[in-house]
């Protein structure tokens, strides 16, 4: 059962996404902010991280940058979730080291495809 770390500050999104992902058979670990995400990533060692970019205090780009700078967590694929319609956010996310991105509102089918692909790629590596 692949483990996904969901980093999301919005309660509704968190609830909805986690429930739907659980229905798809993933085990879900939830972080409310960047700090928590960093610590959970190293203790829980998830197979994949879903990262909301617009987080309070430390934004998703910064969290990703730190994850990717850490040898222990570098290998974990990160899918950025950008709510903004602005391009720059996505570019920022990719530059920060995210492996893929998707926009909010989440189109669940597409997102789960991306998750599936990322996990396959990871396995292949």
Partner 1 sequence: MSLQNLSIRRKLILITMLTSSIALLLSSASFLIYDLISFRHLLTEDLTTQAEIIGYNSAAAMAFKDEPAATATLSALMVKGDIVAAVLYSPDGNMFAQYFRNDKTLPAILPSRSQEKGYRFEGRYLEVWHDVTLNGERLGTLFLQSDMRQWSTRAKRYAGICFVFVLISGFLAFLVSSKLQKVISGPIVHLEDTMRMVSAHKNYEVRAVKAYADEIGSLIDGFNTMLSDIQNRDTALRGANDELQTRTRELEEEISHRKEAQDELLKAKYVAEEASRAKSTFLANMSHELRTPLNAIIGYSEMLEEEAHDSATVETVQDLQKIKSAGRHLLALINDVLDLSKIEAGKMSLHLETFEVSGMIEEIVTTLQPAIEKNSNTLWVHLAQDVGMMQADITKVRQILFNLLSNACKFTDHGTISVDVDQSTEQGQGWLRFRVTDTGIGISAKQKENLFQEFVQADTSIARKYGGTGLGLAITHRFVQLMKGRIGVESEPGLGSTFTVHIPAQVKLEAVGPIQAEGDSDANFEIKTGRDTILVIDDDVAVRELMSRFLGKLGFNVLTVASGEEGLRLAKQVRPVLITLDVVMPGCDGWSVLTKLKADSELSKIPVIMVTIVDNEPRGLDLGASNYLIKPVDRERLAVLIEKHRLNRFKTVTGTNTAPMSRLSHGQKRREGDAEVSGRESHAKNLTSRR
Q: Which parts of this chain interact with partner 1 (CB under 8 A)? A: 10, 12-13, 16-17, 19-20, 23, 68-69, 83-87, 90-91, 94-95, 97, 100-101, 103-108, 110
Q: Give whichever of 44 and 107 is closer to partner 1, judged by the CB atom.
A: 107
Nearer to partner 1, 44 or 110 (CB): 110
Query: What whole-number distance in Å separates Cα of residue 3 and Cα of residue 55?
Result: 21
CA proximity to 88, closest of 59, 122, 47, 117: 59
Which residue blocks in 4-59 are alpha helix, DSSP H?
A: 11-23, 34-44
In the complex, minimum distance from the CB of residue 113 to partner 1, in angstroms, rounded to a whole number? 11
CA dist., res. 124 & res. 111, Å (int): 20
In the bound complex, what is the minimum distance in angstroms from residue 39's beta carbon to partner 1?
20
């Amino acid at each position: 059962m692949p483990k996904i770390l969901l980093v999301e500050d919005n309660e509704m999104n968190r609830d909805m996404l986690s429930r739907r992902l659980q229905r798809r058979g993933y085990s879900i670990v939830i972080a409310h902010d960047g700090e928590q995400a960093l610590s959970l990533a190293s203790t829980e060692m998830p197979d994949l991280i879903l990262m909301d970019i617009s987080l309070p205090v430390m934004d998703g780009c910064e969290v990703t940058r730190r994850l990717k700078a850490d040898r222990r967590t570098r290998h974990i694929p990160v899918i950025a979730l950008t709510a903004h319609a602005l391009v720059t956010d996505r570019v920022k996310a990719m530059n920060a080291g995210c492996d893929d991105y998707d926009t909010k509102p989440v189109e669940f089918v597409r997102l789960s495809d991306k998750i599936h692909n990322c996990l396959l790629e990871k396995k292949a590596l």
